[in-house]
Structure 1
Amino acid sequence: MKSQPRRLERVAVAQAPSDRPNRAEVEQAIRTMIRWAGDDPARDGLRETPDRVARAFEEYFSGYAQDPTEILQKTFEEIEGYDEMIVLRGVRFESHCEHHMAPIVGRAWVAYIPQGRVVGISKLARLVDIYAKRLQIQEKMTAQIANTINDVLNPEGVGVIIKATHHCMTTRGAHKPGTDLVTSRMLGVFRDNALTRQELLGLANSDD
């Protein structure tokens, strides 16, 4: 029997458009941060920094404007009865932690066992990016990816493994470079069948 995941709240955007600050307010906030850091936002080297940072943030957090369930809607049923594991290995991503807004850089292994239909592999990579391009903690992001695949595709099972380096730990605070965090979310046969789960873990570890 397939395990039923705890449903996580899906948030397409963080705020209603009317509540969001406009671009001028964002750039002014960045100038304030530069002054707080001890520098002069009016000097030549920093004059265009507020605009650059605002544009960078638009890219970093573009996942809020995308619906993660929508990209999995198009599926393919002509699979000749294929019912073995599908694994997209080592999907690189960049995210930002919600506690310090410091970078999280890592890779994701995304697996599922189909039940009559499959999705294009690029859609799995895009799903990782949609959740990565938000303020995150790795544990939540791992669950969100797995739960979305499970909810939309209704496969026999889903397994997601993420390995990532957190700059909030490596470049500040504890200052422990060379460490990474490993998280996993197993649903359906990946949770219930130890051999299936071990096969996925072996595929992930073989890329180290």
Structure 2
Amino acid sequence: MDDVVKSLSKKLNPLKDGPVERPTREEAEEAVRTLIRWAGDDPRREGLLDTPKRVTKAFKELYSGYKDDPREVLDKIFAEVEGYDDIVLVRDIPFYSHCEHHMVPFYGMAHIGYYPSKGVVGLSKLARLVEVYARRLQTQETMTAQIALALQESLEPRGVAVMVEAEHMCMSMRGVQKAGAVTLTTQFLGAFRDDPAEQVRFLTLLRQGKA
């Protein structure tokens, strides 16, 4: 593992004191009622009576990535690929996530490429990997790096390239309210980081066939 990957791993996998102590469902529902009152409404009125239950149920789905381990997603590697060692690229993987600063959605597309060495993973696993990290409170920059690092640590490929394009509702719905602005982030490791020509190839393949 080179110095770049080691540094990235240290930043993205900080030591923790232990698992977060989760409140009970009842406590979570009461927190929702408090927020409803903070917004200026009455959680006792008919239309809002079941909202706390719906919100806590939705949270289990929206933030399901916390219970998933990316190593398990990438644990099955197909080594017999008839000597194939060129780029594997899956583009336009849709995702929905939530900004950790305002808990407002951001959404878009992720693109993943890598040069296999030990073997390849099923293509659906790359989409699943995106889901693991998207369904957490996130920043786009961190999510991009996490996807790349998980691939590097599990597959040990010759290179990894990840690009994420997203629109952030915290910028569209609030603040400056500039709808349609797209944020683009990239993370290159291995051959893609060492050779700018490989980055150009990755970006060129992403744009092929697009208007």
1:85 corresponds to 2:51: no
Post-superposition CA distance 1:88-140 (Å, at most 9, x none): 11100000000000001111001100003111111111110000000000000
Distance 1:94 1:75 in 2: 27
TM-score, normalization by structure 2: 0.92
Unaligned runs of 5+ residues in structure 2 are none
SS in 2 for 1:76: coil
Post-superposition shift, 1:50? Answer: 0.5
Partner residue, 2:155? 153
Post-superposition CA distance 1:49-99 (Å, at most 9, x none): 111111111111100011111111110011011000000111000000000
Distance 1:76 1:196 in 2: 24
Over the aligned positions, Cα root-mean-square deviation in angstroms equals 2.0
Q: Structure 2: which amino acid aligns with 1:10?
A: N
> Comparing 2-11 with 112-121, which one deviates more in the overlay?
2-11
**Identity in percent:** 48
Unaligned runs of 5+ residues in structure 1 are none
| Distance change >3 Å, CA 106–CA 3, structure 1 → 2 | farther
Post-superposition CA distance 1:134-170 (Å, at most 9, x none): 0000000000000110011000000000000000011
| Distance change >3 Å, CA 15–CA 166, structure 1 → 2 | farther
Distance 2:3 2:160 in 1: 10
Structure with bigger RCO (C-alpha 8 Å, 6+ apart): 1
Q: What is the count of residue pairs matched by the alignment?
A: 206
Post-superposition shift, 1:202? Answer: 1.6
Partner residue, 1:112? 114
| Distance change >3 Å, CA 177–CA 142, structure 1 → 2 | same
Post-superposition shift, 1:10? Answer: 3.5
| Distance change >3 Å, CA 32–CA 15, structure 1 → 2 | farther
TM-score, normalization by structure 1: 0.93
**Is the 1:3–1:187 contact (alpha carbons within 8 Å) kept by the matching residues of 2?**
no
Q: Structure 2: which amino acid aligns with 1:96?
A: H
| Distance change >3 Å, CA 158–CA 147, structure 1 → 2 | same
SS in 2 for 1:78: coil
Alignment counterpart, residue 10 of structure 1, candidates 8, 13, 16: 13
Post-superposition shift, 1:9? Answer: 3.5
Consecutive aligned runs of 4 or more in structure 1 exceeding 2 Å deviation: 1-4, 8-11, 13-17, 203-208
User: Within 5 Å, which residues of 2 pair with 1:86-101?
Assistant: 86-101=88-103
